[in-house]
C-alpha cells in the first residue's frame, strides 16, 4: 500500500510544503504591504527549492515502483 511506503509519504510531504509556501506567497501578493515587499523573492526561492526536491522525490518513488522495489 502507498500509505505504508516512507518514500511516498516523504514525497507527499514535500509536495504539501510546496503548496504551503505557494499559498503564503500568493496570499502575501494579494494583500501586498511590507511583508510582501520584504519576503516575496525569498518565498519564491524557497518554493523553487522545495519544488525541485519534491519532483526529485516523486521521480525516485516512481522509478523505485517501476523496478518493483
User: What residues does each domain of the chain span?
Assistant: 10-66
End-to-end CA gap in the chain: 12
Torsion angle of C-alpha atoms 6, 10, 16, 17, degrees rounded to 10? 150
How confident is the model over 3-30, as pLDDT tens digits? 888 999 999 999 999 999 999 999 999 9
| pTM beyond 0.75, yes or no | yes
pLDDT at 52: 98
Q: Which residue has the cell 525516485?
A: 60
Least confident interval from 12-16, 31-35, 42-46, 51-55: 31-35
Amino acid at each position: 500500500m502507498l500509505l505504508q511506503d516512507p518514500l511516498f509519504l516523504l514525497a507527499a510531504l514535500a509536495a504539501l510544503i510546496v503548496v504551503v509556501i505557494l499559498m503564503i506567497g500568493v496570499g502575501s501578493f494579494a494583500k501586498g504591504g511590507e511583508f510582501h515587499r520584504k519576503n516575496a523573492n525569498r518565498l519564491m526561492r524557497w518554493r523553487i527549492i522545495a519544488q525541485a526536491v519534491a519532483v526529485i522525490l516523486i521521480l525516485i518513488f516512481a522509478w523505485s515502483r517501476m523496478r518493483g522495489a
